[in-house]
Amino acid sequence: MDQPKIERLLRLMKMLTANVEYSVDDIAERLDMSRRTIYRYIDTFRDAGFVIKKRGNCIRLDKESPHFKDISQLVHFTEEEAVILRRAIESIDDTNLLKQNLKRKLYSVYDSGTLADTIVKGQNSSNVHSLIEAIENHKQVILHNYQSSHSVRDRIVEPFAFTTNYVNVWCYDIEDNCCKIFKTARIGSVELSDIEWQHREQHKENFIDIFRMITSSDSELIAVKLKLGRLSYNLIMEEYPLAERYISTLDKDHWLLNTQVANLQGVGRFVIGLMDDIEIIESPELKDYISTYIKQYFKC
């Protein structure tokens, strides 16, 4: 059997063992095959000892099929395994080129919609599923009644990636001509469009610092050095675990945080809440930010 046929067989096997049921027409459309070819391949699976299960118009490979267990152990994860793997992958620094490759490999063997179900609950679930579908099919969407800090209105975007646990979605904003992050909890509803992505070359996930602040497309990172006491060290390790790679030990009661931040809001809130346990070192922008904040809000 030649390579293209093998690839088509494997793609068909993936769909027939996915966590979503497909009809022959669905498979034909997604794989760009004729119904006749699909039925011929299904006969090939049946001849190889797989049990073909049919429910209504939907078909799949029965999990009781001989060899199914062996194959599934090789190419499928349990939901718990997939969630753990995804969290581990998301914890990798966004500047690491391997991160996106690992995410693509995980999604190639696990249905991302089912993975979302293990994380996203309530009214967000349908919106996240619609965004997943748009990303997989490279389609634009309308985010209806998106609640930003200043307004509630519709946004036409090209979604292309999620942050950890589907909290945010990276999109190219058609109106503002730039990449932005949108909180999934603030989306009223998602309307799928028939329009293909028009700005794929501009899709880019911007830098997210250890305090989960995000750079804008034209902003520069700000260097920050903090001397931490035991209280602030313990809190930053608990609340912002990615800080660990930027922390070194000074002595048994003090640690040095040496990192870069997208803006001063996140680190500023952290320092203001623990001022008696943190010393700002070589970070004039942060000192000015905190000084202005204190004067403004405490009328000093």
pLDDT in tens, 164-188: 667 789 999 999 998 888 989 899 9
Query: What domains can be seen in the chain, in order of their start residue?
Result: 3-75 (1.10.10.10), 79-202 (2.30.30.100), 222-298 (no CATH)
Confidence bin at 129 (pLDDT 50/70/90): confident
CA distance 77 to 62: 17
Residue 173 token pair: 């904003």
Residue 134 · residue 146 · CB < 8 Å: no
**Window from 52-61, 189-198, 203-212 with minimum mean pLDDT:** 52-61
First to last CA, the chain: 79
What's the predicted TM-score (pTM) here? Answer: 0.49
